[in-house]
Amino acid sequence: MAENKVEVFVGALVVACAAAFLVYLLQSTGLSANSKSYPLYASFRSAEGVSVGTDVRLAGVKIGTVTELHLDHESYKAVSTLSIHDNVEIPDDSALTIASEGLLGGTFVEVVPGASFDFFQSGDEVVDTQGSVSLIQLMMRFVSGGEE
């Protein structure tokens, strides 16, 4: 009978740990039901390294994620949909760049804030964007000693 109580206790502990991990996972990825956000749209010449789920950061702090990425067949640009937390207001003259965390790190979308007193609204498009810089292209320019 004592073994049965121990087994029930260990089983309950495992279920509690699994539930805690699930809550942590939902909160850290921004998928929890109570996370309010608004969409912004942006087109990049090159979105190399960016995919759905990539962080959007402002001053190094995660303020949203990339929720959609597709090719515009007319302009041949990568069109992205960014989901920004509701409590973050971004000036409407801000720029978006695709930045790298380092040589071996991943990429993220960085918000470079502007100085405007007006802010982006839900569904607005950010026009000032800078695509990713290919490390291979930079190395080739360095090795060849000039411009290509």
Q: Nearest 5°: phi and psi at 95? A: -120, 155
Residues 49 and 93 reside in one and the same domain: yes
Structural domain boundaries, residue 67 = 37-142
For 67-81, the pLDDT digits (tens) are: 999 999 999 999 999
Count how many domains the chain has: 2
Q: Structure pTM?
A: 0.68
pLDDT (tens digit, 9 = 90+) per residue, 28-56? 665 555 568 899 999 999 888 888 888 99
Which residues have a Cβ under 8 Å from the Cβ of 94 and sit 6 or more positions away? 111, 112, 113, 114, 116, 120, 126, 128
Angle, CA of 132, 114 and 118, to the nearest 5°: 125
Asked if residue 59 is part of any domain, the answer here is yes
